[in-house]
Amino acid sequence: METEVVSNLSYVNGDLDEFISYMNQHHLSQRRGAMIATVNPEIGYATMKDHAYHKVISSADYVLPDGVGVVLMSRLINHPLKSRIAGFEVFMSMLDLANKQSKSIFLYGAKKEVLEAVKQRIDTEYPNVVIAGSCDGYQADKRFVAKQIARSKADMVFVALGYPNQENFIYEYRHLFPQAVCIGLGGSFDVFSGTVKRAPRWMIKTNTEWLYRLIVNPWRWKRMLNIPKYAFAVLKENKGKKRYYPEQVKDQTKQL
């Protein structure tokens, strides 16, 4: 997969279909694990402010541009990314693959009732998927959950704890389940279960999903200030006015 560097993260430069078929060919079919991080402007900004978190995200095998803001900035600084690859869509496509190949999955995150609704929908719509285990996102003992995942031997591990907890969890424990493709999915379980509605299709198409989130969750406005902050920080860094990172990350284009 080709990559492109935007503000010290090496993003997958392709589209959803290319990425999924690449994952299938190079990882799932060979039971070779991988860590996928889905990065939106908020997460991108968090990596600029927190070196430890940057280390976690840049250790992922695949960093996906999960936000139109990241794609927009990539174009403004002349490192253009072809398209957004949304975590939620990767989740749906991976479930499709799992269904076609009778793969096993582990679901970790969200509230108990949300998780139950997710499992029910998977049982109905993806009958060949084997749910090898699950755990809601409010268990204090993360190590215990990691051991449960290891025992499940799942092919895919979906972690929906919100950032930075989901990436920190995968980073810390992925060595216990080396065969699994692991991905941090934020609030995707809430959307998949129908607990939270995703933006209407026309808003997703016109790249205004962020506006929908702001209207539905006005209390998020403070968090969303990180979007313009990210934009300014990327531009400043690109002009050489400020350095946010101790060292530069190189293009991680993979030739497997």
CB of 241 to ligand UDP, least distance (A): 29
Instruction: Encode burial over 125-139: b for 16+ CB neighbours within 10 A, e otherwise.
Output: ebeebebbbbbbbee
- Our finding on whether 157 is near ligand UDP (CB under 6 A) is no
Q: Which is nearer to ligand UDP, 22 or 162 (CB)?
A: 162
Task: Using the minimum distance from each CB to ligand UDP, give the nearer residue, 217 or 253.
Answer: 217
The only residue of 109, 168, 169, 209 in contact with ligand UDP, by rule CB under 6 A: 109
- The reply to whether 162 sits near ligand UDP by the rule CB under 6 A is yes
Would you count residue 144 as binding ligand UDP (CB under 6 A)? no
The least CB distance from residue 184 to ligand UDP, in Å, is 8
Per CB under 6 A, contacts with ligand UDP among 177-206 are 186-187, 189-190
Question: By C-beta, is 45 or 163 nearer to ligand UDP?
Answer: 163
User: For residues 25 and 217, which CB has a smaller minimum distance to ligand UDP in the complex?
Assistant: 217
List the beta bridge partners of residue 11.
4, 63
Residues that bind ligand UDP (CB under 6 A): 109-111, 137-138, 160-163, 186-187, 189-190
